[in-house]
Amino acid sequence: MSSLDESLPEPTGAEVLPGESLRTSEVMSSLDHHETGIPSSEAGPQMTIFDCRDVEVFYGSHQAIRDVSLSFGLREVTALIGPSGCGKSTFLRCLNRMNDLIPSAKVGGHVIYHGQDLYAPEIDPVQVRKRIGMVFQKPNPFPKSIYDNVAFGPRVVGMEGDMDEIVERALVRGALWEEVKDRLDENAFGMSGGQQQRLCIARALATDPDVLLMDEPCSALDPISTGRIEDLMSELKERISIVIVTHNMQQAARVSDKTAFFNVELAADEKSRTGVVVEYDATETIFTNPSDKRTEDYVTGKFG
Amino acid sequence: MTPVTSTERERVRADLVRARSARSAREGLIKGILVLAALLSIATTTAIVFTLLQQTLSFFGTVSPWDYFTGTKWTPLLAGDQQSFGVLPLLWGTFYLTGIGLLVAIPCGLLAAIYLSEFAKPRVRKAVKPILELLAGMPTIIFGYFALTFVTPTILRGLLGIPVKQFNGLSAGLVLGILVIPTIASVSEDAMRSVPSSLREGAYGLGAGRLQVALRVVFPAALSGIVAALILGASRAVGETVIILIAGGQEPSMTLNPTQSFQSMASFIAATARGDIPQNTLKYETIFVVGFTLFCVTLLLNGVSAKVVGRFRQVYE
Amino acid sequence: MTGAQIAANALEGIRHGERKRLAAQLFNGLMYGAIGLAFLALVALIGQTAVKGLPGLSLQFLTNFPSRINPSTSGAQSAIVGTVYLTLLTAVFVIPVGIATALYLEEYADKTRWWNRLIEVNIQNLAAVPSVVYGILGLAFIVRGPLGLGPVLLAGGLTLGLLVLPVVIIVARESIRAVPPSIRDGALALGATKWQTVSRQVLPSARAGIVTGVILSLSRAIGETAPLLVIGAASSPRFNPSGLNDAFTALPIQIFTWTQDPNPQFVDQAATASIVLLLILLGMNGIAIVLRHRYEQRW
């Protein structure tokens, strides 16, 4: 846990020091206490989009991840890297309560988003997913028209406004509008893989989320499509925060501001493996001057 | 690039909590409706079992189970001491005619299945499968008509010169077999096609010919699925009503002579039960006790088949 | 090895090869014979029906009511109308209940719970129950007993509906299962509720399979004789059912009635009615193929 402390940015009033127990009201009050109302880059209220404390996930009796405490920066790209099976995707799915859909999954700990613990009992997971978008590893457009794909989210959450405008705005933000504006009625399955993934991004953006979670979005794509999506991410982060799980270290180095390195640890009984966060720091530090040897071994390719 | 203000945070929080109860109620209602639909199937089974059992027990209040299960005369419609409720002739009729049918259907169906699975080129397969599918889709009443007006006079009496009665077991049994060929063929074929091609390739690699691979590698590997197909075919034949009703006659016999008329459990039920039988008569109850017997037989066959298929699935998963 | 031994081995090998070839040829013959038998049976079946039935096929046959006395004025209108009504009734019953059950089992039920597995096993068993037993159920429960509807059209529709319901459920489940989980994940991640996901993405994608399965089940229902016999469908009625509460008949019943007639001309009418039945089935299967093509979803 100590390495985590050292690598976090200088604590502002919004941060919670390790060892302190977390209650939503405490966080709220500490934030209010420091609010100045004057926009500033360093001081002032909430500069993080997520504050996760002691997040753990069990699938049945198997502990998939434990003790994950990370804070993700507002309007930044944070990358989660690490070898296969160390729980990065599992953790990502905690952020928009997608693990709820797996019957055997149990999530513990706290995920604070805009001062609200997403796992509080009064929270509606459907509303959570409206505000926190997700893009999956393999593009999964619906077997419908491009228009209906993008319109689906706004329709089901009951977004108000002119649907044509909403769809156009989303496709523009997803850097797809110029390519498809004349063929919105065509079936999405007719698009190439890269286009489909950008469609999925646009679709996720349509409900106007302020976070986009991306689970290895480029792993099924060719390098050119990958490049376009990476460019898109740089544009998107001006308005939204992004958390991306990636296997591709170079990609993490290219696109992210901060990087968290996950790894597996053998449990005490030596039979099960659990994912933990080894190090979390600015991307440049992780890749050029990591504090933990395991991080260094991973980023230099000694394992993974 | 402003950081998030606390008023925005409040709005977010309200947003996240909003409308949960209304939505949950609606989703719960929908789930409830779906559960009700699913429970209908349970209700159906319960109703079937309850109905059959109730009348069966009432029947056994009058006729002793021993007489029923061991008696060799089935004459419920006769009066006085001519009346007898031994079900063995119906059981015999059912299984004997099924047996005749399987004698036709098993070789024909299995050979067809082996051909389609191991030998036929895709183009040929495309031409042959529709034959089986058409046969499978024919209403059984047309099979019954066929047995009565073609098989009995033209084939049996005419072509083969066998002195069968107008209503006879041979005709019914043979047509029953034709009915069941597609079932045996398609389920066996599925079983054989599910055998991993690596097994075939291994055998080919050792120099085996097509026939040997089909008979010595694929067939044994698919055996449980094939046995399930046979049981399924038998079950289908056991439950079949109209073919036997039309072609087999309404007189039960307990003989090995297929030229006689036969009655099965199912054909007895259909012959006897017409919408106008008075309730609470013994005659009415016979429908149920025979129906219950038939139900149990089919359930048993289905259970055995399911167990065999279950074992079959495990092998390749 | 001596030359003689080599020669003997070779001869043995050749004879073995010959035996192998002979066996293969014999087996080939058997297989073709099997296919031939099936083909011949089909041809004879359809042929006999066509030969005996086509001469009687006329507009009069379709519009006349059945007679018990005079074959030349006899027709199958009540049976045709009855079959059409029964099909509609069965569809109205079976489509919502079947799809709802399939949705529950595939999308909502926790498969580890014993009661859900019981429902599944139960449906498999119901699919294997002989149709005549469904007739008994209809007689004891729907025509008489608790529902007490009498031998009327509604009773016929419900009985046939119960008969084909298990098949519809099984087919619908398969179609729903064929929709990839990624579609559901994608919808849910956008903020859709479970029902929105199911109704707006899963069901539409499963449409082709469900439609085909329903039509095939209805085809089966149309061809059933035994259950309708047992619940007391009318034989040779000279009227069409005027409502759900009216007596009714159907083509299989009319065909059966005519085969029982001592007058061979009426027996021929059974063949004519069979042709009509087959044409209706052909039409339904044709619709199924067209619809499947239109809605087919390739992943």
Residues B278 and B169 in one domain: yes
Q: What is the pLDDT of residue B166?
A: 86
| Last residue in a domain, options C40, C56, C72 | C56
Distance in Å from the first CA to the final CA of chain C: 62
**Interface contacts B/C by beta carbons within 8 Å:** 247
Q: What is the pLDDT of residue B66?
A: 87
Residues C181 and C207 in one domain: yes
Block means of pLDDT (10 residues each) for chain B, 317 residues, are 69 74 84 92 90 90 88 82 85 94 96 92 90 91 94 85 87 95 94 89 85 87 90 94 92 88 93 78 89 93 82 51
b/e per residue, C29-61, with b = 16+ CB within 10 A? Answer: eebeebbebbbebbebbbebbbebbeebbeeeb
Outline where C223-263 has alpha helix (H). 226-231, 251-259
Q: Is B85 helix (H, G, I), strand (E, B) or coil?
A: strand
Q: What is the pLDDT of residue C283?
A: 94
Asked if the structure places residue B122 within a domain, the reply is yes
Asked if the structure places residue B242 within a domain, the reply is yes
> CATH number of the domain that C83 lies in?
1.10.3720.10
Q: What is the pLDDT of residue A27?
A: 41
Q: What is the pLDDT of residue A15?
A: 41
Residues C16 and C108 in one domain: no
> In the numeric block, which tokens belong to residue A303?
């394992």
Asked if the structure places residue B79 within a domain, the reply is no
Asked if the structure places residue B76 within a domain, the reply is no
Give the single-character DSSP code of B81. G
Residues C170 and C186 in one domain: yes
pLDDT tens across C264-297, in order?
999 999 999 999 999 999 999 999 989 888 888 7
Q: Is B84 helix (H, G, I), strand (E, B) or coil?
A: strand
For residues B178 and C44, what is the distance between their CA atoms, to the nearest angstrom? 11
Which of B5, B13, B23 minimises the CB distance to A45?
Answer: B5
- Crossing angle for the helix pair A24-34 and B6-17, to the nearest 10 degrees: 160
Residues B46 and B98 in one domain: no
Chain C contacts to A (CB-CB under 8 A): 110, 112, 180, 182-183, 185-193, 196, 200-201, 205, 297
Q: What is the pLDDT of residue A46?
A: 64
Beta strands A211-215 and A241-245 are: parallel
Residue pointed to by tokens 């440049």: A284
Residues C143 and C104 in one domain: yes
Q: What is the ipTM of this complex?
A: 0.90
Residues B116 and B230 in one domain: yes
Q: Contacts of residue B235 in chain C, CB cutoff 8 Å?
A: 128
Asked if C27 and B33 come within 8 Å (Cβ–Cβ), the reply is no
Neighbouring-strand partners of residue A73: A48
Residues B24 and B123 in one domain: no
Residues B134 and B214 in one domain: yes
Q: Which own/partner contact pairs does A162-169 have at CB distance under 8 Å and 24+ positions apart?
A: A166/A206, A167/A206, A169/A206
Residues C206 and C271 in one domain: yes
Asked if the structure places residue B71 within a domain, the reply is no
Asked if the structure places residue B74 within a domain, the reply is no
- Identify the band that residue A4 occupies on the pLDDT scale cut at 50, 70 and 90: very low
For residues A206 and C187, what is the distance between their CA atoms, to the nearest angstrom? 13
On the question of pLDDT at A245 being above 70, the answer is: yes
Say if residues C232 and C143 touch (Cβ distance below 8 Å): yes
pLDDT tens across A7-18, in order?
444 444 434 333
Q: Contacts of residue C128 in chain B, CB cutoff 8 Å?
A: 235, 298-299, 301-302
Q: Contacts of residue B246 in chain C, CB cutoff 8 Å?
A: 256, 259-260
Q: What is the pLDDT of residue B313?
A: 54
Neighbouring-strand partners of residue B79: none
Domain enclosing residue C39, as ranges = 3-56
> In the numeric block, which tokens belong to residue B312?
């079959």
Residues C50 and C73 in one domain: no
Burial class (CB in 10 A: 0-12, 13-18, 19+), B266: buried
Residues C47 and C126 in one domain: no
Residues B193 and B48 in one domain: no
For residues C229 and C231, what is the distance between their CA atoms, to the nearest angstrom? 6
Q: What is the total count of domains within chain C?
A: 2
Q: What is the pLDDT of residue A304?
A: 65
C141 Cβ contact partners less than 8 Å away, ≥ 6 residues apart: B47, B51, C147
For residues A89 and A93, what is the distance between their CA atoms, to the nearest angstrom? 6
Residues B233 and B288 in one domain: yes
Give the mutation candidate from B20, B41, B268 for the C interface (greatest C CB count, under 10 A): B41
Asked if the structure places residue B67 within a domain, the reply is no
For residues B79 and B277, what is the distance between their CA atoms, to the nearest angstrom? 16
Q: What is the total count of domains within chain B?
A: 2
Residues B57 and B120 in one domain: no
Ranges of chain C with pLDDT below 70: 1
Mean pLDDT of chain C: 91
- Identify the band that residue A39 occupies on the pLDDT scale cut at 50, 70 and 90: very low
pTM: 0.86
Q: Is B273 helix (H, G, I), strand (E, B) or coil?
A: coil
Residues C217 and C71 in one domain: yes
Q: Which own/partner contact pairs does A226-234 have at CB distance under 8 Å and 24+ positions apart?
A: A226/A194, A226/A251, A228/A175, A228/A194, A228/A198, A229/A194, A229/A197, A229/A198, A229/A201, A230/A254, A230/A255, A231/A175, A232/A174, A232/A175, A232/A198, A232/A201, A233/A77, A234/A77
Asked if B131 and C49 come within 8 Å (Cβ–Cβ), the reply is no
| Last residue in a domain, options C56, C78, C97 | C56
Residues B163 and B268 in one domain: yes
Residues B47 and B93 in one domain: no
For residues C265 and C77, what is the distance between their CA atoms, to the nearest angstrom? 18
Residues B169 and B286 in one domain: yes
Residues B24 and B93 in one domain: no
Nearest Cα of chain B lies from the Cα of A213 at a distance, in angstroms, of: 18
Domain enclosing residue B16, as ranges = 6-61
Residues C20 and C47 in one domain: yes
Asked if the structure places residue B234 within a domain, the reply is yes
SS (H, E, C) chain A: CHHHHHHCCCCCCCCCCCCCCCCHHHHHHHHHHHCCCCCCCCCCCCCEEEEEEEEEEEECCEEEEEEECCEEECCCEEEEECCCCCCHHHHHHHHCCHHHHCCCEEEEEEEEECCEECCCCCCCHHHHHHHEEEECCCCCCCCCEHHHHHHHHHHHHCCCCCHHHHHHHHHHHCCCHHHHCCCCCCEHHHCCHHHHHHHHHHHHHCCCCCEEEEECCCCCCCHHHHHHHHHHHHHHCCCCEEEEECCCHHHHHHHCCEEEEEEEEECCCCCCEEEEEEEEEEHHHHHHCCCCHHHHHHHCCCCC
Which of B42, B115, B242 minimises the CB distance to C34?
Answer: B115
Query: Residue B70: enclosing H or E segment and its boundaries?
Result: helix B65-70
Say if residues B139 and C222 touch (Cβ distance below 8 Å): yes
Contact with chain C for residue B282, Cβ under 8 A: no
- B positions 20-49 inside 8 Å of A (CB): 20, 23
Residues C126 and C11 in one domain: no
Residues C94 and C195 in one domain: yes
Mean pLDDT of chain A: 83
Residues C42 and C67 in one domain: no
